A and B are shown apart, each in its own frame.
Chain A
Amino acid sequence: MRADRWHRHLLRLVLGLALLAVAAGVSLALMTAPVAPGLGDAIHGALPGAAAANPVTAVLLDFRGYDTLLEMAVLTAALAGVWSLGRAHRTRPTNPSPVLIGLTRVIAPLFPMICGYLLWVGADGPGGAFQAGAVLATAAVLYVLSERRPGPRLPEQPMRAGAVAGLGVFLAVALGVMAGGGRFLEYPAPLGSGLLLLIETAAAVGIALILAGLFIGGRPGGGDG
């Protein structure tokens, strides 16, 4: 027992020193002057040729769209991972508070509306697929939380389809533009914003379903998938 305590103290000491070194190193690096200006000016210069007017959306879906594509893959892989662990945990029959049920009924229609708004405005202002998807996922979570009977009762195959559609549409568009002679993810100029809206809509739905699927922690069941 004594050796154990000594081990703990030694670990704390070593960890403390290591973190102190990290703090010192990073602070030092932050204090020295930068060698080159950031990419802000270059991005703003290239913005007129991009498919979106908002610089952040343009960076996310046009300039560095490949990052966003891989990040959708990360989300989908996480869902595949969580669902491969087993069935969703059956929630015990609880009596959700009437306040929760009433609130859910009232604000449920608002979620798709806000989601659509965020999607639409994402081209010109802050917004976009991830934010919209997260809002829609909240609706699904509220639904699961306010169930009276043992849940979760979500349909599995439609969820799979929707989750796959997120990355699937993105990949399809990215590869499809290559057919016209462009590069991967190079949106042809007149179709740019239309394609972006398509990608973002599919992504928002996909993200919402993936987040809901992650929340329930396993396959919803129904069928032997």
Chain B
Amino acid sequence: MDNGLLFAAGGLGVFLIGAWAVVLRAHLIRKILALNLMSSGAFLLLVGAGAIGHAGVDPVPQAMVITGIVVSISATALGLAIVLRIAKTTGRALLPEDRERTPTDRPLR
């Protein structure tokens, strides 16, 4: 199997796992982790898809991923800062729609 196709498929898989978790997991830190997974998967897809069928090294997808990683860091940092303030202000790091269904003694869901 073409190397590129393998990486692209792996990236797609990681992306889907992240997408599943970002919707269904309640704790905000988990949602942010899931978003990170999604972006890692998307980057792997980007590099892998660009490499399918090509013999030489294509620097453009690599440059795109470097840019994407930096953007992802910025978003994660902002997200975590907001989560910390949410926890401080409202006591729990959960969105309102997840609060009723998450018992206080078992918050990690």
Contacts and interface: CB of A to CB of B under 8 A. Distances in A.
Interface of A: 4, 8, 11-12, 15-16, 19, 22-23, 26-27, 30, 33-34, 37-41, 43-44, 55-56, 58-60, 64, 67-68, 71, 74-75, 77-78, 81-82, 85-86, 89, 130, 211, 214-215, 217-218
A40 B24 contact: no
Interface string B47-85: 001101110111111110011011101110110111011
B63 A22 contact: no
A40 B101 CA distance: 51
A8 B70 CA distance: 35
A68 B67 contact: yes
B16 A22 contact: yes
Contacts of B75: 78
Contacts of B71: 71, 74
A147 B81 CA distance: 21
B23 A11 contact: yes
Interface of B: 5, 8-9, 12, 16, 19-20, 23-24, 45, 49-50, 52-54, 56-63, 66-67, 69-71, 73-75, 77-78, 80-82, 84-85, 100-101
Per DSSP, are chain B's interface residues mostly helix, strand or loop, or mixed?
helix
Contacts of B24: 11-12, 15
A117 B32 CA distance: 33
Contact of B5 (A30, A77, A214, A215): A30
Contact of B52 (A34, A56, A67, A82): A34
B70 A56 contact: no
Contact of B59 (A8, A30, A40): A40
Given A43-B60, A82-B81, A85-B82, A130 B20 contact: no
Contacts of A43: 58-60
